[in-house]
Amino acid sequence: MTNVYPWLGLVFRAFVGGYFVYAAVPKIMEPLAFATSIAHYGIMPSWAVHGYALIVSWLELVAGIALVTGLRVRASSAICGLLLVMFTVAVAYAVVLGLKIDCGCFGSQGGDEVSWFKVSKNTVMIAMCAYLWWKPTTAFSLDHGLLGKRS
């Protein structure tokens, strides 16, 4: 039986990495809209919102591209996982407070309203990142080649 782990890792890498790239681009294109979404949560001081919006959106893009290409899978999955934990805590906080706001996931391009369903979707992606951190050897990876074998 063929080892399915490298292929499962490829699917997780493509999904999470692709999601991060897709989410980062509109935030980078319109940083003010993303900063406004962050401010709606009411979690951080207003002086920190714009810097956070710039740094996080570029970090999402770089980590997402690294995951998609299979470059430094363990590190990029850890970064994506930690960002997802941070986002999930913010969404859960907003749900508990009863805020009726957009999650801000895709900048002004729209996103889900904060909800427990959004928290559960993020939790699944956190689990995918944890798997990739645990088993970073995946198929079609810059780190490990075509079939996920160490060179």
- Read off the pLDDT band of 92 (50, 70, 90): very high
36-75 confidence digits (pLDDT tens): 999 999 999 999 999 999 999 999 999 999 999 999 999 9
- Read off the pLDDT band of 151 (50, 70, 90): very low
Cα separation of 8 and 1, whole Å? 15
Cα separation of 100 and 119, whole Å? 15
Cα separation of 145 and 73, whole Å? 12
Spell out the long-range contacts of 48-53 with Cβ–Cβ below 8 A and sequence spacing 24 or more. 53/27
pLDDT over 70 percentage in the chain: 93
Coil, strand or helix: which one is 102?
A: strand
101-134 confidence digits (pLDDT tens): 988 888 776 677 899 999 999 999 999 999 999 9
Among the listed residues 115, 38, 128, the one whose alpha carbon sits nearest the alpha carbon of residue 81: 128
Helix orientation angle between 73-97 and 46-69, rounded to the nearest 10 degrees? 140
Q: Taking the model in full, what pTM does it have?
A: 0.90
pLDDT at 30: 93
